[in-house]
Amino acid sequence: MRLIPAIDILGGKCVRLTQGDYNSQKIYDDNPVDVARDLSRQGFEYLHLVDLDGAKSSSPKNLYVLNQIALDSNLKIDFGGGIKSEDSLIQALRSGASQVNIGSVSVRNANLVKFWVLRYGADQVMISADVKGRSLAINGWLENTEVDIMEFINDFIDNGAKHFVVTDIAKDGMMQGSSVELYKDIIDQFPDIQLVASGGVSSIDECKVLEDIGVSGIIFGKALYEGLIDPEALLKAFS
């Protein structure tokens, strides 16, 4: 199982939001590259890098940060935020992303993203679903839709996608536990996908529960920065 610390970039700084609210930002470091370098030194192999500036814009705004992190660490980076065109997808991959997270466009223009999955491969294109309840939210979580998460996943599976990250916005940044039942329901219905859980993960024990139900990876952010999860103990528990 992949243990994936998250770095969210807003205004060039490493921040965390609460429930996707841009007004709730808390700055943890002025230099995301330094944070990524430290995570790599601690022994993490993966990084979830989110361009919050790009997420509410028409294109990524922090590709230079992605490139610096890729050059300065051994982290395998999945990158999202503002990837709304094939050009920005290519730029993200060229800047060092191992995978790109496609969120809003996978709702707005599903056929285009299905084409990207076929053209660039299911291992490079991760479908990112941010949910409120069981309906998707897009554009940096600022816009709600009526798209059901199960129907959404099923549609992309039928077209070759296999990597999904699902974030429960109500849980994100709250450090009060993740949506275990939601993830269990998804895996029960789609046992062959690679599902990454995101939002609210607050303890090593919870990570074990998520592993037991079959998630392929766990993204965690605030719990790490606030000291609820000890990096050394976490890595040891899953070594």
Which of 8, 53, 168, 172 is the catalytic position? 8
List the CATH number of the domain containing 174: 3.20.20.70
pLDDT at 103: 87
pLDDT at 199: 85
CB atoms within 10 A of CB 64: 12
The single-letter DSSP state of residue 88 is H
Where in the sequence is the domain holding 118, given as residue range(s)? 2-237
In angstroms, what CA-CA distances link 138 with 106, 143, 171?
Answer: 9, 5, 16
pLDDT at 140: 56
Position 35 confidence tier, pLDDT thresholds 50, 70, 90 = very high
CA angle 97, 83, 78 (to 5 degrees): 25
Which of 78, 130, 168, 172 is the catalytic position? 130
**Alpha-carbon gap, residue 181 to 57, rounded angstroms:** 32
Sign for the CA dihedral angle at 147, 218, 17, 104 comes to: negative
pLDDT at 22: 66
Q: What are phi and psi of 110, to 5 degrees?
A: -60, -40
pLDDT at 11: 87
Among residues 105, 111, 109, 118, the alpha carbon closest in space to that of 58 is found at 105
pLDDT at 71: 96
pLDDT at 173: 54
pLDDT at 139: 67
Active site residue 130: yes
With tokens 């998250």, the residue in question is: 6
Q: Is the pLDDT of residue 43 over 70?
A: yes
Stated pTM of the model: 0.92
Tell me the pLDDT tens digit for each residue of 176-199. Answer: 668 899 999 999 999 999 999 998
Q: Is the pLDDT of residue 168 over 90?
A: no
The total domain count for the chain is 1
Residues in the chain: 239
Tell me the pLDDT tens digit for each residue of 114-140. Answer: 999 999 999 999 999 989 888 898 765
Q: Higher model confidence: residue 9 or residue 171?
A: 9
Q: Which residues pair with 78 in a beta bridge?
A: 48, 99
